[in-house]
Amino acid sequence: MLWKNRRQSGNVEDRRGFGTGKVAIGGIGTIVVAIIIWILGGNPLEFLGSGQMNSNQNASTEIPENDTVAQFVSVVLAETEDVWDSIFQVEGENYTQPKLIIFRDAIQSACGMASDASGPFYCPGDQKVYIDLSFFDEMKSRFNAPGDFAIAYVIAHEIGHHVQNQLGILNKAQQLKERTDEKGANRIQVKVELQADFLAGVWAYHISKYKNLLEKGDAEEALGAANAVGDDRLQKQHQGRVVPDAFTHGTSEQRMRWFMKGYKTGDIRQGNTLELNNL
């Protein structure tokens, strides 16, 4: 991705110098359990949320010049702001730009305690994206998904959840999940996640067509990341078998397919086949 010397977002909060306290309910053991929960399709925040963390919640919006990854994240966030500002304006709506929090080890969010075991996530309670940048090292070493646009895909996916939140989709999906059983709730959540993949693809379409920011191989890097984090692949790797009823994000094939649908069409309405707008 052609990103150097481009605008960085003013909505990045760097809390890596703060909030590095330990989780009070189990230290390393707690993190290991949280990782297992995440691999099996659960929400580590629900497990970690009962813990307490002593931290200074002050944040810096100044990113060091030699911090390449953080600068890249800030540029990608700025590009999502430009694209979604434009799309919402066309629809006669205003886009509220979310904050993106960079942290290390652990931090308190409105959705509970976040740790490096949680992976990147969006919290609708405070409309912020949370990312421990060490996750991007894991993408290369653990998930075999290298490349700067693999990182951009992850960020764009989380911003996709913010778009869903603004459109009222997350709230409607949550209401429906509360009226069904666990298997039904998982199926709804898969739709939510696949639509976020689709919205990430829509974003990629716009920065490619209108800004010429994509380089050869960027789309393949995003697909590699989507493939690496499919529920079927993760379950097979970590428990030796695939349990479709426990899917919460979709298969590798589904995630790649929905990203590509957004990337090829650039039309937000094409994601309505997930039927989330009619919940």
Look at residue 234 and tell me whether its pLDDT is greater than 60.
yes
Over residues 124-158, the pLDDT tens digits come to 999 999 999 888 888 888 888 989 999 999 999 99
Residue 173: pLDDT above 70? yes
* Range 117-154 burial, b when 16+ CB lie within 10 A, else e: bbbbbbbbeebbbbbbbebbeebeeebebebbbbbbbb
Cα-atom radius of gyration of the chain, to the nearest Å? 18
- pLDDT tens figures, 93-108: 999 999 999 998 888 8
Residue 194 belongs to what H/E stretch?
Answer: helix 182-209
When pLDDT is cut at 50, 70 and 90, the band that residue 67 belongs to is: confident
Average pLDDT over residues 100-118: 86
pLDDT at 255: 96
pLDDT score at 144: 86
Residues 8-22: pLDDT tens digits?
999 999 998 765 433
Q: Distance between CA 82 and CA 86 in Å, rounded?
A: 6
Task: Give the CA dihedral 121, 256, 136, 114, nearest 10 degrees.
Answer: 20
Which residue do the tokens 């330990």 mark? 22
Report the 10 Å Cβ neighbour count for 214. Answer: 20
Q: What is the pLDDT of residue 29?
A: 41
Q: How confident is the model at residue 49 (pLDDT cuts 50, 70, 90)?
A: very low
pLDDT at 55: 39
Domain extents in the chain: 12-278
Please give the pLDDT value at position 105. 86
**How remote is the C-alpha of 211 from its chain's centroid?**
23
